[in-house]
Structure 1
Amino acid sequence: MMENTFGLIVQRERNKQGLSLAKLSSLLNNEIDPSYINRLEKEQKNPSFKVVCLLTSALKLDIREVFRAFGFENLITNYDEEAVFSIDEFIRLHKLKNPLDNRIINNEEQETLIKIIHTVFELSQAELDLGQLSPLLKEIQKLREIHLRESTECIEVPFMNTTFTVDIKAVSAQNRSFDREKAIVAIQDIVSKKGTKLLDIKDGSITVDLNGESWLAQIQGERVTFITRKKEIIDL
């Protein structure tokens, strides 16, 4: 049981992410003092519910492990055992990573993947001939085209232990003199300065300054999509 205590989980994840006690405290807007975190990791403190929530969020701890650390595993075990999803529900309700680049697949990729899986199951129930593979190959080609488009129209920017996917399709479409390399540098700068606030927003709209232009962007989790250019610059 000792290895599952909350303090040791915090210490393990903090070290894994390369965060000092002071840095972790700063990520929490100094709501938790570094010395308190140190005592917590040494099991010299019993954290309040608020402290547990703050640290779980900041370090992105596995909530199941946190529950287990406090002896409440039964609150999640029944859910794990009884939850049943269709393939469609599982793909649509969960954030799935592309196994090749760890990028979270978008809605269009999700729907294409669902079609591919359905086709595979349908083909497995029938006498197979090469002509029946045509619909499957078309969906696979569509998935490839989406992936190629994503790789050129999206920029991945790491921040702490998160990677933001920034969709710049609208920027390139509305700006004929668009310079992708300059945009990458500018977006990396935005994320480095505003990443914590982007994480706080989770879902919603923001206005950011990109290379002297004001843009409306939509945030959905770790995905930021530039929507349209605005006249007025309103900083985050």
Structure 2
Amino acid sequence: MLEISGLTIRYGAFLAVGSLDIVIGKGDIVGLIGPNGAGKTSTVKALGGLIKPAAGRIAFRGRDLAGVPAHERITLGLSIVPEGRGIFARMSVEENLLMGAYAFDGADKAARMRRVYDLFPILAERRWQAAGTMSGGQQQMLAVSMGLMAEPEMIVLDEPSLGLAPIVIEEIGKALIRLREAGVTVFLVEQNATLTADVSDRIYVMSNGTVLHHGTAEEITRNEDMLGALL
């Protein structure tokens, strides 16, 4: 589904990501964990077309994404949910969801809304509420739902647990499992090792712009010394 090979990202002389290799198969939940400054968000921005890599290749469903503008990547089936939620605070929940489907004029947007409301019923209850007045957890559910309004084949989530209470993080984890059951491939970029291990098939551990280790969730979580040092 997604193949990242030799990805290198620089900000001037600063090397943010160095020769990153990641492979994600269809229907997988794959985690990328690491501390602040590891290069995780830079990787997400490169996937979304928001920054141009210095080197390397990103291929989605066999297509090289070099030169594909950010606004076109979502129509290919790749949806990005950025760190910090990125909702429209003064707009209602329903208006935010419609913005998530802006690139799909002929789509049955009502049907798409029903599906995200099934995933997060609280959003249906708050559909006319201004998004900025909801709790942080509800705002994160909305951000994920906006990404799902594109009905992507793959969704990339950057730090979805940031600032959330443990009970809300657990609910986000359950939603990710339901997404996989619905056939959506998930790339989970996180600092929260517990959430990542609970839902992921495989995990990449990143620090200082490089992957130090990758393996199954069980293999990664057994290495407590490594996780403790990194996170």
* TM-score, scaled to structure 1: 0.26
- The structure carrying a bigger strand percent of its residues is 2
Greater relative contact order structure (CA < 8 Å, 6+ sep): 2
* TM-score, scaled to structure 2: 0.26
- The structure carrying a bigger helix percent of its residues is 1
